[in-house]
């Protein structure tokens, strides 16, 4: 297989991955606090292993899918008037919930009470306080209020304080679905969190922008596919002509 085809194939594989990422963004446009993923491409340079570069020789540049990262820009806050809908009103800070696989970070702040009075998310995962323990209410706590610093209170007094943390290195967060993040680096409490009660952070994905991005990705994918097919036809035609001359 000739170099133009292998170089084009490297681009085709990367472009296919880009389509998958864009499709995931579109699918999560309605997921609370979801942050759009982006591809990071780079060149992978290859030089022929010879002592002296032949006439016309050059470095071959392949497309490499270097990494996938998430945009840090938060989504807009949507006010719901639900007292257990809470949003972080700044770019930094994460809630901690007790998932089955261990504590996980999230900014999806749609919470509710379970049968035991615990504050849980839509998957039943408990919201943790500043000490890493689940927040619990009693049947007599009927009017819940959450202060800007995360203090949870009722008509009976203070119940606890919602833990808002920040990982030491956000680039080491790995996504688990559209809501949860696993932190590979230590987390520390945010000194002055900004909590907004009765609101949910929406996804930062613009569906129209992502659809346009997908259209462009698809066009590039099709163009590269056509180029590879054209190279294949060219090689087959050359082989046919050589075979005819040989006979």
Rounded to an integer, the average pLDDT of 65-82 is 85
Mean pLDDT of the chain: 85
Token duo for residue 74: 């938060």
Q: How far from 99 is each of 109, 124, 179, 237, CA to CA, in Å?
A: 15, 8, 11, 59
Evaluate if residue 181 carries a pLDDT over 60. yes
What is the model's pLDDT at position 99? 94
231 versus 104: the higher-pLDDT residue is 104
61 versus 98: the higher-pLDDT residue is 98
Q: How many residues does the structure list for the chain?
A: 247
Is the Cβ–Cβ distance between 204 and 75 less than 8 Å? Answer: yes
- Dist. CA 127–CA 119, nearest whole Å: 6
Strand, coil or helix: 75: coil
What is the model's pLDDT at position 203? 94
Token duo for residue 187: 């987390």
Is the Cβ–Cβ distance between 110 and 128 less than 8 Å? Answer: no
Q: How far from 247 is each of 19, 47, 233, CA to CA, in Å?
A: 47, 37, 21
9 versus 194: the higher-pLDDT residue is 194
Is the Cβ–Cβ distance between 97 and 104 less than 8 Å? Answer: yes
- Dist. CA 148–CA 15, nearest whole Å: 44
Token duo for residue 47: 């030089």
Is the Cβ–Cβ distance between 90 and 97 less than 8 Å? Answer: no
CA 94 to the chain's CA centroid? 15
Residue 152 buriedness (CB in 10 A; 0-12 / 13-18 / 19+): buried
What is the model's pLDDT at position 52? 57
Q: Is the whole-model pTM more than 0.85?
A: no
Evaluate if residue 159 carries a pLDDT over 60. yes
Q: How far from 143 is each of 3, 81, 180, CA to CA, in Å?
A: 69, 13, 28
What is the model's pLDDT at position 59? 61
Per-residue pLDDT tens over the stretch 117-156 = 999 999 999 999 999 999 999 999 999 999 999 999 999 9
> What sign does the dihedral 135-141-146-149 (CA atoms) show?
negative
Residue 1: CA count within 13 A, CB half-sphere: 9
Rounded to an integer, the average pLDDT of 82-109 is 94
What is the model's pLDDT at position 53? 57
């Amino acid at each position: 297989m000739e170099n133009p085809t292998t170089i084009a194939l490297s681009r085709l594989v990367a472009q296919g991955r880009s389509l998958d990422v864009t499709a995931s963004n579109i699918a999560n446009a309605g997921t609370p606090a979801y942050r759009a993923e982006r591809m990071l491409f780079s060149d992978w340079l290859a030089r022929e292993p010879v002592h002296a570069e032949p006439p016309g020789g050059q470095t071959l540049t392949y497309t490499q899918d270097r990494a996938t990262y998430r945009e840090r820009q938060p989504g807009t806050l949507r006010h719901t008037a639900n007292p257990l809908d809470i949003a972080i009103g700044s770019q930094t800070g994460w809630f901690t919930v007790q998932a089955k696989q261990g504590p996980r970070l999230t900014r999806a702040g749609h919470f509710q009470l379970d049968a035991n009075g615990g504050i849980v998310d839509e998957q039943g995962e408990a919201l943790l306080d500043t000490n890493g323990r689940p927040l619990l209410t009693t049947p007599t706590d009927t009017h819940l209020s959450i202060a800007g610093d995360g203090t949870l209170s009722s008509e009976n007094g203070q119940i606890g304080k919602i833990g808002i943390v920040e990982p030491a290195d956000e680039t080491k967060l790995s996504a688990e679905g559209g809501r949860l993040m696993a932190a590979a680096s230590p987390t520390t409490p945010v000194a002055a969190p900004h909590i907004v009660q009765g609101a949910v952070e929406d996804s930062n994905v613009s569906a129209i922008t992502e659809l346009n991005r997908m259209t462009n990705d698809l066009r590039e994918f099709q163009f590269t596919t056509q180029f590879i097919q054209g190279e294949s036809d060219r090689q087959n035609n050359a082989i046919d002509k050589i075979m005819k001359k040989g006979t």
